[in-house]
Structure 1
Amino acid sequence: MNADASINYAQIIMDNSTDAILLIGLDHSVLAYNQNLKDTILAYSGKILKAGDNYLEFLNKEDTTVFLDIFQRCMSGETVTIERIEELNKIPVWFEFRLNPTYDKDKNLLGICLRGKDIDTRKKMEIAHSESEEKFRNLIESAPNAILIVDTKGKIVHCNLETENTFGYRKEELINQSVELLVPLRHRSGHDNLVSGYIQAPRPMRIGKNQVTSAIKKDGTEILVEISLNGFEVNQTNYVSAIIVDITEKIQAENKIKVQIQELKEIARIQSHEIRRPLANILGLLELLESGMTEEKRNEVHSYLRKSANDLDELVVDIVKRSSISNIL
């Protein structure tokens, strides 16, 4: 099939492009353009573009300054891409402009080719995503607990300030490090397999709720922690968030309470058994005194009464000491 010489195929291709395309001569004159460029110029400036026009006449003062700077860079062989906001009916629209040097068939510099593309939808999505990401980071930073974001290789990609406070590492020391850095040596064997298995089937999980687990700080100190895991996806990439709560003081307090409860149980046992013995002796000796006896026998009973009373007093003093506020707190 032979091409019809009377048809300007290059112009047809340009006119069917969704980009606005303009070829600018070395003297800033308009050499060629497509229909999209002509329509865009008309919409934004109200002017009709024609071949031979000085392109600078279609620019405002600010755009002229930027254009001339880029034009000189392109004349030196550089390709430049910029993003700018243009207003149409007072509505801001994002455009991407790509300018590159253009040569004729003999490799002589012919001028500069400008391609303009409406990137408003994409750019606003990027801005919204960036703002959402910033809010997410701010939320993490303001959290009262240590938070790690870990990638599929088990590397820490983000952490908050509380992580520094909890583990003693600076953020820069943790980023791109394996999460195993915070795992005690005796627990590291097979830990990477656990991480890999969780990433393949992520689900909300709490570690340390029913079974105490530990982590290690920069100075080698081990702390008891409770970890909440969850998986999420960003740009088709999987991550795991780990919220880490230092429960060392909580566990120590719980253990102290257990000891105190045991102490109170022992006190109760003493009250129910050991106190009854001297008390029973006293009651029995009182009955003997009331039954009538010789003076010698009465003195002997008094001696036993005194001993039983002293035994009872010692038990009471011991109970008071063991149940005092200083021991319980």
Structure 2
Amino acid sequence: MEKVINIQQAQKAKKDPIDYLSDNVVLLSLNENFDVLSANETFLKVTGIKRDDLDQLNFFQHLCDELPDYIQDELSYLLRQQKSWNGNFAFPNTEGNASWFHTNIIPSRDENGSYIGFNLLATVGKSQQSMITEKETTESWMKAIFNDADEGNILIGLDGDVIEFNATAYEFLSWYTHKELRLNESMSHYFGGSFSNTFKALFQKTKNGQKQKFCRTFKNLSGYEKVVDMELKPVSDSTGTIMGVILNSTDITEEVNLERRIRVSEKKLDDIAFINAHEVRAPLASILGLLNLLDFESVDESGKLILNHLKKSANDLEKIIHKVSESTYLTNSDSNKSA
């Protein structure tokens, strides 16, 4: 399920729209009625629409005139079903013609998973080949930013400011810092202490094209800990120019805790195997030895019967101890193989 909350923030804070990475990229936020909530500078430049008029703009009423009827019908049906759409879209331009963009439109949801509208991301097509290239670039950005709720993603500009994020990233930073993740805020605002310098160094390497992957334990203000796999990946446009950085984070606390419990269990199995092999079997071996010595003593028939029962019981106990030790060893070995 896609979960993004920049639309909700725009509704609450009424901030200026974000300026996207490249000047050939259009970004729109639409509410559930397909009214335009926000747009970046590229959209305003291409269409000539004024920012003050955005709140009176509707996607279907004002922006779909250049599309064939069958495309409009397909687009309308999919979006009203809260499904994604991608294809070539013609935005009206200042010359009264149409500028074609490869466009991805996906449903937006708040942090509770409730549907609240759509995000539209489009890249200008200068030729058929550029449309294909821009399509691949755009889709890679969209997947990175708006993927499922298991991963947190933050798109960061080269200046270190937040450009876009999904709900999982928002929830993690709220848990960690008790601060609200905001558009256009510097990432250094959220990472303090020694990690702040580490993050800056890793971010600089990523800006130079080097992917950075690391694991870190975060402790929030309440003292609770989470173990997080993190990756910084450079984002390039269709020409290969690095335009920003994506911070990807995955909570692996449960996996790490499970691994720790497995290690504790393996230690207990080792202890059981040692106790069986040494601390239990040693006195049992002494008992068996003493019972064998009694064979050379004069014992009446009643005593021999008791002695034979004792030997049988001692031998049975030795077999059980050997079986427990063997099972413990095999279980431990299997755990090590699967770890």
TM-score by length of 2: 0.46
TM-score by length of 1: 0.47
Question: Could you say which structure has the greater relative contact order, defined with CA pairs below 8 angstroms and 6 or more residues apart?
Answer: 2
**Looking at CA atoms only, which structure, 1 or 2, has the larger radius of gyration?**
1
